[in-house]
Structure 1
Amino acid sequence: MTTKINAGTLKRNIYDAQRGQRELALLDIREHGQYGMGHPFFAVSCPYSLLEAIAPRLVPQNSVPVVFIDDDDGLSERAAQALKQLGYTNLQILDGGAPAWEAAGFTLYQGVNLPSKTFGELVELVYNTPTITAGDLKVMQDRGDNVIILDGRTPEEFQNFNIPGGISCPNAELPLRFDAIVDDPNKTVVINCAGRTRSIIGAQTLIDFGIKNKVVALENGTQGWALFDLELERGADRFAPNIINDDSLASAKLRARVLAEKRSIPFVNIESVRKWQLDLRRTTYVIDVRSSIEFESGHLPGAVHAPGGQLVQATDIYVGVHGARIVVCDDNEVRAIMVAHWLRRMGRDAHVLRGGVGADATEMGSVNPYLSADIAPNLPEISEKQLALSLKNKDVVVIDIRSFQSYREGHIPDAYWVLRANLPHQVAIIKDKDLVVVSDNNLAARLFAREADSLGCRSVCLLSGGLNAWVSAQSDIQRSPDEPADRECKDYLFFTGQRHMGNKKHMRQYLEWEIGLVSQLDADERTSFDL
């Protein structure tokens, strides 16, 4: 049975979960744009479009209390029914949705990854993490000063754009690979990201690991660089070395052990991890923080992958249950200690797998979301040629469920753009119709089809190869720069959405938002961090 919970009671339950007194999953099932425009601080984004595919990863134990947040529009009731079919047994709905949370006097925060972003700002305030402005860094570069720039983002982000001369070394790799990159104790080390969080965390990581070099965070990252009217480099291919020598590894491991002892970071052996994984009374996440290539080459059964820096930067993407246990693992403890160090400061019950994954890494390949055919059947496919003929005969209706940006940039003529959440309001489009779905996500298409079927469509099939197949066949596409209207685009966060496209107004708004997060915290939210 699904029950309702009021905002005050939910607030107290969140407080208890943050202190490890209970477990709780707070899932905001609105689309990404709606979530980003205002949600409770500890709410996790789990959009209804992919609910059944995402929820099992965020909430792996189906007995954990789950609270849904919507716009008081009935979406939570639909979500509860969907998760009941997956076996979830303890489901609640925030009475009145997000509007009721705000009406109760609690803050709805803009943006995403709130706990991690706010944590970065708190780290800078508490530890007085040293920084350097883009202007001062450029002066140092022009003078030929002894300085090195390490980019703490993912390699993919680095290649999109970076500070000229920088080297890609994701944050969790910094303490492991530092000696292999920097061989001069007099060299100034600058850590950057695109904004603030990973710059701060990366720099403070090296400081906490006892690096003797002068280490600073680049204030405001690549956005700060652009706001100084400085050019970014694109397509760079400078990466930290994959192989490190024995001396460098020994130094990294020694620093990690010293930090672990200083911070009282707990270790757990593989036997205990296996018992925890079987314990239905408590949620345990086993997260491998190595690179994706290392993970796919061999990982622990039941483990999921999250690059260590990203797990700290966006914890709520990977961990949906407050009050849960987290076991972080790698191959030599260095990266795991780095991540556990920060997760524990964030108030998480994080442990390091003693000795690394070793011979227990018996599973290979990636771990991808899965939907059984009982939940959402696989869809028959239709080719571009078959679709063209059916459209000519007016036999089918084309439904495009890709992002609104993709739809605006080009879609099959007369295709409808429809969100799964909006289906009950657009029944006239699908009722008694044969549908062809255009999608770049097979799971989303299957979930959409199941709901469309329940609302009375005649049949659903999937365009094989998606829009790319249609375009490759040189078929016509239709562009609609202003349709759907912005107000309908619930899947996109317009707030600062163009900051990485050169929009300086959005850059400034984003940085002001990030810096201003700490001032919005109430007492419960502030004390959830162990700083």
Structure 2
Amino acid sequence: MAKYLNAKRLKELILDDSELALLDVREEGVFAEGHILWAASVPLSRLELLIDILVPRLSTPIVIYDNNDGLSERAAAYLSNFSYLNIAILNGGIQEWEAAGNLIFEGINVPSKAFGEFIEKNYKTPKISARDLKKKIDSQEDIIILDSRPFSEFNNSNIPGGIDIPGAELVYRIYDVVPSSKTLIVVNCAGRTRSIIGAQSLINAGIANDVVALNNGVMGWELEGFPLEYDSKRRVIESSSVAISRALSASEVVARKFGIKTISQAELGVWENEKNERTLYLFDVRNPEEYEAGHLAGSVSAPGGQLVQAIDVYAATQNSRIVLIDDNGIRATLTASWLVQMGWKDVVVLRDGLVNVDLKMGPKTHKIAGINDANTSTISAKELKQAIKDENVTIIDLGNSLNYREGHIPNAWFAIRSRLKKSLQKIPIKDHLVLTSEDGIIAQLSINEIKEYGFNKISYLSGGTAAWIASGFALACGEENMADKMDDIWLRPHQRLTKNTEAAIDYLASKIVLLTKITQDGTSRFQLFKK
């Protein structure tokens, strides 16, 4: 049974050097309105999907909080059923935290974004404005624009002429892409953090070129009214032997500067044997295609740039052990250099991590907590199509609201699982209730809960909405049947239907003040290293 603790005790735990997983079980959109700095967003609605990834050790000390609305107690009951052993609840929820004089932070991935501001200020990372960059482009100066985001983001929209090289890849790929030391290198991302970290990565590695971060990234470019490119394919995913040799030398400079430690396969085996006493994360920092072509058993795909940008999405347990893996140590070393500066003490690079070991192919299959006890009453897409025609079915979509807006089964109602009992009062229920979600998993996990509300004939769509699409059936778009508000996810400025320009301005402004708030909060462990 979960115990309760107060805000004072929670702050003591956060400041301690022992392991702690602080979980905010509200919906992500609510989390983004204000949360405790080091909390990971683990909404009750998706708890089963996330918990094994974020908190892999069952005896990890876990503290849960909510809006003092009962979500924590429900989450604690689930976690107890999943065999987690050390669960506590913040008494009074986030209101208690604020009432005790503590700060809350808006947005998502805040520790990483605050860290980016910390790096820019303390290392004086050079930057260039969108207007000045546009002038250089128009004047055909010797510049190259490197976009440090994952290819999917770059492909959606990018600064004209940019080349996609995700953050941890920059040092690895740079020597083939920029043969002249006279070329000005401009690193950009969507906003600020990955531009800063990417530019400073090249500087830390001793690149001879002048390197600058594009101030405010693609958002800043667009706010100036400059055009974007769409569906661009320019990316670099291979390096020559000469470039790799030079990148290895550069990564060795970084390793010495930041004291990056390495371990052998044998030493990793010792840590593996101790993972019931210490949390162990194995992160493969290569690009996802490389990971799927062959990876170390038990490792998770966490491209280095994204791991630094959103560490809370990958590792919820503070003061845990982190092992970084790649094929030659370059990307792992660069990633480790940032995590060490962020305050993660037990970060190491696995030497020869992919040599002389059996590799697993394809994406990692994650454990879904509670799936073995979930209801198996299914309906196929073909059967659902007929039931809709017969007008004797109500469909509830428990997928995320953005996916619902972009495409859902016609006449399906949108609802959020954690608040479904209340939403059911707004939905006209017919003879047969069918639940769906992106792949059907959340829908399946929800059936037993709904049966407790007195409904009997309930099924979930086998394969979820993806199966409906694969069957060639039409989708509806928009926000037509909303049984709940869209606060289950945090919408990026470009995802908003209205006032997205104002949202972008507010977003960028909020990052500027982060460093002051972090200092006032007093719980960060960011570290400076001498130049």
TM-score for both structures, normalised by structure 2: 0.92
Q: CA deviation at 1:274?
A: 1.6
Q: Given the alignment of the two structures, is residue 108 of structure 1 paired with residue 117 of structure 2, yes or no?
A: no
Equivalent position amino acid for 2:44 in 1 = Y
Could you tell which deviates more after superposition, 46-55 or 387-396?
A: 387-396
Q: Is the 8 A contact 1:150 1:189 kept in 2?
A: yes
SS of 2:433's partner is strand
Structure 1's 243 and 397: CA in aligned 2 closer, same or farther, altered over 3 A? closer
Q: Secondary structure at the match of 2:144?
A: strand
CA contact 1:268–1:351 (8 Å) conserved in 2: yes
* Aligned residue runs from structure 1 range 156-235, under 5 A: 156-235=152-231
CA RMSD of aligned residues (A): 2.6
Match of 1:262 in 2: 257
Amino acid at match of 1:368: T
Offset at 1:142? 1.1
Per-residue displacement from partner, 1:102-125 (whole Å, max 9, x unpaired)? 111112211000000000001000
CA distances 1:432-488 after superposition (whole Å, capped 9, x unpaired): 964211221332112212322344331432234645666788978766647538x73
Name the residue aligned to 2:439.
Answer: 441
Give the drift of 1:180.
Answer: 1.1
Pick closer, same or farther for the CA change 1:275–1:474 going to 2, 3 Å: closer
1:43 paired residue among 11, 35, 39: 39
Deviates more, 1:144-153 or 1:368-377: 368-377
2:518 maps to what in 1? Answer: 521
Equivalent residue letter for 2:291? F
The separation in 1 between residues aligned to 2:228 and 2:453, in whole angstroms, is 50
- The alpha-carbon deviation at position 499 of structure 1 amounts to 6.8
Aligned partner letter, 2:80: K
Task: Give the 3 Å change call, closer, same or farther, for CA 496–516 of structure 1 in structure 2.
Answer: farther
1:65-104 to 2 correspondences below 5 Å? 65-104=61-100
Quick one: distance in 2 between partners of 1:374 and 1:219?
Answer: 45
SS in 2 for 1:126: helix
The partner residue of 2:125 within 129, 135, 138 is 129
Q: Percent identity?
A: 41
For residues 60-105 of structure 1, give each alpha carbon's deviation from its aligned partner in whole angstroms, at most 9, with x where no partner exists: 0000011111111111111111111111000011111112111111
Please state whether the residue corresponding to 2:447 is helix, strand or coil. Answer: helix
AA of the residue aligned to 1:243? E
Q: Distance in 2 between matches of 1:307 and 1:138?
A: 30
TM-score, with normalisation over the residues of structure 1? 0.92
Residue 492 of structure 1 is matched in structure 2 by 489
Match of 1:246 among 241, 247, 256: 241
The alignment covers a number of residue pairs equal to 525
Looking at structure 1, the residues matched to 52 and 220 of structure 2 have their Cα atoms a distance apart, in angstroms, of 38
- Contact 1:399/1:436 (CA < 8 Å) preserved in 2? yes
Give the Cα–Cα distance (whole angstroms) in 1 for the partners of residues 464 and 194 of structure 2.
36
The code of the aligned residue for 1:8 comes to: K
Whether the aligned pair in 1 keeps the contact of 2:48 and 2:369 (CA below 8 Å) is: no
2:448 is matched with which residue? 450
* Larger mean Cα displacement after TM superposition, 181-190 or 512-521: 512-521
Conserved 8 A contact 2:394-2:430: no
Q: 1:125 and 1:413 mapped to 2: Cα distance?
A: 51
Question: Partner of 1:488: helix, strand, or coil?
Answer: coil
For the structure 1 residues 127 and 389, does the alpha-carbon distance in structure 2 shift closer, same or farther, using more than 3 Å as the test?
Answer: same
Letter in structure 1 aligned against 2:490: L
Corresponding residue number in structure 2 for 1:142: 138
1:254, distance to aligned residue in structure 2 (A) = 1.0
Of 180-189 and 515-524, the range deviating more from structure 2: 515-524
Match of 1:7 in 2: 7
Partner of 1:295: 291
Note the C-alpha offset of 1:517: 0.9
Mean Cα deviation higher: 289-298 or 379-388 = 379-388
Is the contact between residue 290 and residue 335 of structure 1 (CA under 8 Å) also seen in structure 2?
yes
**Aligned in 2, Cα 1:469/1:358: closer, same or farther, shift over 3 Å?**
closer
Shift, 1:368, TM fit:
3.0
- Point out the more displaced range, 331-340 or 521-530: 521-530
How does 1:462-501 map onto structure 2 within 5 Å? 462-464=460-462, 466-467=464-465, 481=479, 484=482, 488-493=485-490, 496=493, 498=495
The residue identity in structure 1 corresponding to 2:22 is L
Secondary structure at 2:360's aligned position in 1?
A: coil
Distance 1:502 1:431 in 2: 35
Cα contact 1:49–1:447 (8 A) shared by 2 = no
- Checking the alignment, whether the CA contact within 8 Å between 1:400 and 1:418 is kept in structure 2 is yes
Query: Does structure 1 residue 507 correspond to structure 2 residue 504?
Result: yes
Task: Report deviation, 1:262.
Answer: 1.9
Query: Do the aligned partners of residues 430 and 61 (structure 1) sit closer, same or farther apart at CA in structure 2, a change above 3 Å counting?
Result: farther
SS at match of 1:359: coil
List gaps (5 residues or longer) in structure 1: none
Structure 2, gaps ≥5 residues long: none
* Structure 1 residue 424 displacement after superposition: 3.6
1:467-526 CA-partner distances (Å, limit 9, x unpaired): 5666788978766647538x7322133584647999321111110011111121245546
User: 1:392 deviation in Å?
Assistant: 5.6
Instruction: Name the CA distance, whole Å, in 2 between partners of 1:375 and 1:432.
Output: 29
Residues 294/388 of structure 1: CA separation in 2 closer, same or farther (3 Å cut): closer
Q: Work out whether residues 439 and 466 of structure 2, in 8 Å CA contact, stay in contact via their aligned partners in 1.
A: no
Bigger drift between 117-126 and 368-377 goes to 368-377
Q: Which residue in 2 is equivalent to 1:461?
A: 459
| C-alpha distance in structure 2 between counterparts of 1:439 and 1:492, whole Å | 15
Q: Is the 8 A contact 1:37 1:495 kept in 2?
A: no
Larger deviation: 430-439 or 318-327? 430-439
Q: State how far apart, in whole Å, the 2-side matches of 1:471 and 1:318 are.
A: 30
